[in-house]
Amino acid sequence: VGSYRDISHESLSLFRLLEPQIEILVLGTGDRVERLHPAVLKQMRECGIAVEVQDTPNACATFNFLTSEKRVAAAGLIPP
């Protein structure tokens, strides 16, 4: 994944395979918050995974906060 445009159901497949299953996926889309295709978000929700899309610096902070609360989270981060 080189940009938010490359985020797809296929590129997120690793996150659906993790054990234990994650409850939330934090995606950092670089310098700005970018909109992902609604179908991609819907497919992740159908797998039981919530998706939070933020700019990468805020996504890092959110991921750290979630893990400090012992939430089962993962992050996909595109460098700003």
Q: What is the CATH number of the domain that holds 47?
A: 3.40.1230.10
Radius of gyration of the chain (CA): 12
- The set of residues, in sequence order, having a beta carbon less than 8 Å from that of 43 and lying 6+ positions away, is 9
Would you place residue 14 in the very low, low, confident or very high pLDDT band (cuts 50, 70, 90)?
very high
Q: What is the pLDDT of residue 23?
A: 97
The domain total for the chain is: 1
13 phi, psi to nearest 5 deg? -60, -35
Q: What is the pLDDT of residue 13?
A: 96
Average of pLDDT values for 12-33? 97
Residue range(s) defining the domain that contains residue 28 = 4-77
Give 41-54 pLDDT, tens digit per residue: 999 999 999 999 99
Would you place residue 72 in the very low, low, confident or very high pLDDT band (cuts 50, 70, 90)?
very high
